Structure 1
Amino acid sequence: MLTVAGCLGDDDRGITLWTEFEEAEEETLEEHLAAFNEGRDNELNAEDITDMEDQLNTAIPAGDGPETFAWAHDWLGRYHEQEFGYDASDDLSIDLESEFTADAVDAVQWEGHTYGVPYASETVALMYNPDLVAEPPETIEGMVEIMDDYHDPANNQWGLSYPPVNPYFVSGYLQAFGGRLFHEDTGELGIEDDEFIEGVELLQDSLWEYVPEDPTYGSQIAPFNDGNAPFAINGPWQVGGFRDAGVDATLAPLPDIEGGSPTPYTGIQVWYFTAALEDADEETFETIMDWAEWYTTNEDVIVDNAERHGLIPVHQEYAESDDIGEDIQTFVETVDMGTPMPADPRMDIMFTTLEEALERVFNGSEEPAAAMEAAAEEIRSRWE
């Protein structure tokens, strides 16, 4: 981290954006960046950052951070409180309300400030390997039957690739019976509610036994990526990587459950404006504004992101289009099931503690109700 921050703090780093994309998305970004830079004297550079959240928390206060970076909208409230963002309300030449969907506009604003420009919507969906599965299951019960046929860890085969304790990835089933991680209308936790605990038990009883024992992202991605699992549950950022690996990842909505309905968190991808713009020179400032407006309204960018990576357009002209492809239609169907991820600054504390509690249940060291009660107590204590 110190090496990267040191390099980026150099005066020669130029005008910089940061991303933490998967390889396929990074390649597409480079193509778009080359198109944007063509004919410009003040070229914009990209940095592929590992552990971007930690890097930003170090670099922005030190004045070494990027002028813009790409991430989902859920950091907005926290960045407002930390004064990490730049309010571009009076600087954009495009009218957000006229260009983007209402949800996307709401996602980039916090307490009257505009901290970025939206470019896509996303959530997780079911992915299946058509070499192993003829038709996607419509229900969890049908999915379990297929996973049972393939799950054989002793022979390097699993039923499912699914980061099992990441609250964002598993939110669809945690919230399937009407429970909520966080009640945005009241600002209250929901993880102790019976409906939420029922969702934890669903994961415990129906899905977790089919994933690798290591809950980390890389270990969970490997079985599907290597053709050793019939199913994955993941987001549009991973589609290109699976297909580049030779797996014809085919998308389907999250399977339904008896007595409930999958309710995944949905996110809006944003080009954030950072506090580095406060003291930026005119050339840098104009380049960043040009980039954000160009990237989010350019047809080639919008269509590429949709067709190559399954990113759902939030530009009004393309959001309801039927011409972008089947991947988008599936993700749109799954987004329609879901609920926007809250951007309350307290969510970060909640996610970290909840993930630790889910891991205890996943490892069999604690029962769902006890784990959620302990997590809720810790979260409230940290909030105070």
Structure 2
Amino acid sequence: MKKLIFICFFLFSTLIYAEISTVTVWHSYRGTEQIALEELKNRFNESQDKYNAVLLSVPYDAFANKLTTAIPRGNGPDGFIFAHERIGDWAESGIISPVDNETVERTRNDIIPSTLNALKYNGKFWGYPLAFKSVVLYYRTDLIKKVPASTDEMIEMAKKFSDPEKGRYGLAFEAASVYFAAPFLYGFDGGFCFEEGKTKKSGEACLDNKGNRMALDYIGNMVNNLKIVPQEATSALVTQLFNEGHAAMVINGPWFLGEIKKGVPYNVAVLPTISETGDLLKPFLTVESFMITDHIDTNVEGAKAFGNYITSFDGAKLRAVKGRQSVATKSVYKDPEISKDNVLNVFRTQAEIAVPMSNNPKMRMVWEPMATALRKVLRGAQSSPDALEAAQNQFIIFSRPLPKAKSPVVYVMILLAAALAGLFFVVKQLRKHKLVESLFNNPTPYLYLFPAFLSMIVLVFIPFAVGTAVAFFAHKSGEYQFVGFSNFISILLSKDFPVTNPLSFYFTLGVTVLWTSVNVFFHVSIGLALALMLREPWLKMKGIYRMLLI
């Protein structure tokens, strides 16, 4: 009887366990955000008996690559938390699945509109908005008594405080970063033509526009002429200046809160209005969202349940209070505990003004050309019109469609023929010099050479072979396409960059040849001159000079 009861209990327990499915969620949170998410996961698991959520922390730098590698092969998580700007790529590649209309309509009224719009691509919504990030104005309350309402006021306050020779600046931000330049780009009605409501040219970016030129000149003036903003400021320098009282105001995001030293008197405010246009400085808005993956083993219902739970009022409040997140749920800001938090409310207000960063896949091709243009203007190397014209041309090159795919059959046949010819040559040389017999008769010298031979294969020949093979492929959105000699033809014919462009193959080749020639000339000339000098009988301590030169 006892045995029968035990068997029944075992079968019942197995049945219950089998009904609980696992929901794997990837994230890259740290600190308080991770603590809040862990607590939400525990509450979710305790609140129901269908799903068991499991969190896996993945380093931010490796996050996107791991997703694009794992999911197309049927692996990876059921859902993940990441910023929205890669949605276009992932939607087109089948990495993520859209959110159903019922969920969108049910939550729409309680979500900050700009955070929801950021998740829209090709008419569908691709995630559950969790939190948002944008830059605001930080100011030291011991140095700034009144929040500037306009850029004219901000500049006047900054000029009174600034003294570059003493390392003091009225305003500090990473001026050479496109992300931190964005408030000025949009404030002058510039942008990239990917934004919602902007006039687009067949989905292309328009970097060279009047607003962007005005913005770059404005930033350049603050850095180079007024000297109220440090040149080539880094994140570490901005933090140091603010903490030491050498920067009165700083433009930075919510991550800066954790970098401010304890005891530093500060407050935050919405970015001011641009005096020249009457429009507000509008920073980028990035939205962290929970997205559901699209592979054969995705636990869709479990992922939906977890997404709905962490975006609920209670879930959003916990993330705001314990995780110190600027959450996307509007009703949370009416809660007495949150409504008194000036920092969270300033970020919420700024979010309604900010411009959601475009999730168009081509937006990723904007960053480098635009950053190059910004650096040229700040260094005084080019005017803003010339720099932006070059940036626009560079974007056009980067965004060109891939070359036509070609059949690898002919190339494989050529490779096999070359391999057979090489093998024949090697065998012939082995027989000619009787190397095989020598190896068996006297293996000791070859054993000494083996480690070096193996190292050469692993460190030189294999990377060279892989690099050569990759040159015959074109890559886009995690997919490789065989294109034969198209890449080589494009380089040799200068299809992408003119010969005079520093990115041109021939320009690089010319610089390399010139550098090598000059280098060899001076090495030989100086070496010969010193050698002739050391031959002179009147020169003493020749041995010491020879030793130093060697």
- CA 1:37 to 1:359, structure 2 compared with 1: closer, same or farther past 3 Å? farther
- CA 1:46 to 1:36, structure 2 compared with 1: closer, same or farther past 3 Å? farther
Cα separation, 2, equivalents of 1:341 and 1:231: 24
Secondary structure in structure 2 of the residue aligned to 1:95: helix
1:197 to 213, 216, 229: 213
Query: 5 Å matches for 1:331-350?
Result: 331-350=347-366
Cα separation, 1, equivalents of 2:172 and 2:69: 33
Secondary structure in structure 2 of the residue aligned to 1:182: coil
Alpha-carbon offset, residue 205 of structure 1: 0.8
Amino acid at match of 1:84: I
- CA 1:271 to 1:363, structure 2 compared with 1: closer, same or farther past 3 Å? farther
Amino acid at match of 2:25: T
Amino acid at match of 2:182: S
Name 2:314's counterpart in structure 1: 299
Is 1:169 equivalent to 2:180 in the alignment? Answer: yes
Query: 5 Å matches for 1:250-269?
Result: 250-260=267-277, 261=279, 262-269=281-288
Runs of 4+ in 1 over 6 A off after TM superposition: 319-322
Gapped regions of structure 1 (runs ≥ 5): 1-12
Moved more, 361-370 or 101-110: 101-110
* Corresponding pairs, count: 365
- CA 1:134 to 1:320, structure 2 compared with 1: closer, same or farther past 3 Å? same
Gapped regions of structure 2 (runs ≥ 5): 1-21, 401-550
Is 1:279 equivalent to 2:289 in the alignment? Answer: no
Alpha-carbon offset, residue 116 of structure 1: 1.4
1:68 to 79, 84, 99: 79
Name 2:343's counterpart in structure 1: 327
1:44 to 26, 33, 54: 54
- CA 1:43 to 1:178, structure 2 compared with 1: closer, same or farther past 3 Å? closer
Name 2:250's counterpart in structure 1: 232
Alpha-carbon offset, residue 45 of structure 1: 1.6
Is 1:100 equivalent to 2:111 in the alignment? Answer: yes
Native 8 Å contact 2:243 2:261 kept in 1: no
Amino acid at match of 2:312: T
Q: More helix by proportion, 1 or 2?
A: 2
Alpha-carbon offset, residue 18 of structure 1: 1.6
Native 8 Å contact 1:126 1:254 kept in 2: yes
Native 8 Å contact 1:160 1:224 kept in 2: no
Amino acid at match of 2:219: L
Amino acid at match of 1:267: T
- CA 1:106 to 1:148, structure 2 compared with 1: closer, same or farther past 3 Å? closer
Is 1:144 equivalent to 2:155 in the alignment? Answer: yes
Name 2:94's counterpart in structure 1: 83
2:378 to 362, 370, 373: 362
Question: Computing the radius of gyration over CA atoms, which structure comes out larger, 1 or 2?
Answer: 2
- CA 1:263 to 1:19, structure 2 compared with 1: closer, same or farther past 3 Å? same
Amino acid at match of 2:94: E
Name 2:24's counterpart in structure 1: 15
Alpha-carbon offset, residue 193 of structure 1: 1.4
Amino acid at match of 2:214: E
TM-score, normalised on structure 1?
0.79
**Aligned residues: percent identity?**
23
Cα separation, 2, equivalents of 1:326 and 1:307: 16
- CA 1:94 to 1:196, structure 2 compared with 1: closer, same or farther past 3 Å? closer
Native 8 Å contact 1:211 1:220 kept in 2: no
Alpha-carbon offset, residue 171 of structure 1: 1.2
- CA 1:270 to 1:204, structure 2 compared with 1: closer, same or farther past 3 Å? same
Query: 5 Å matches for 1:200-219?
Result: 200-206=216-222, 209-219=227-237
CA deviation string 1:13-67 (max 9, x = no partner): 982322256x454444444444445577834224152324445444545666443
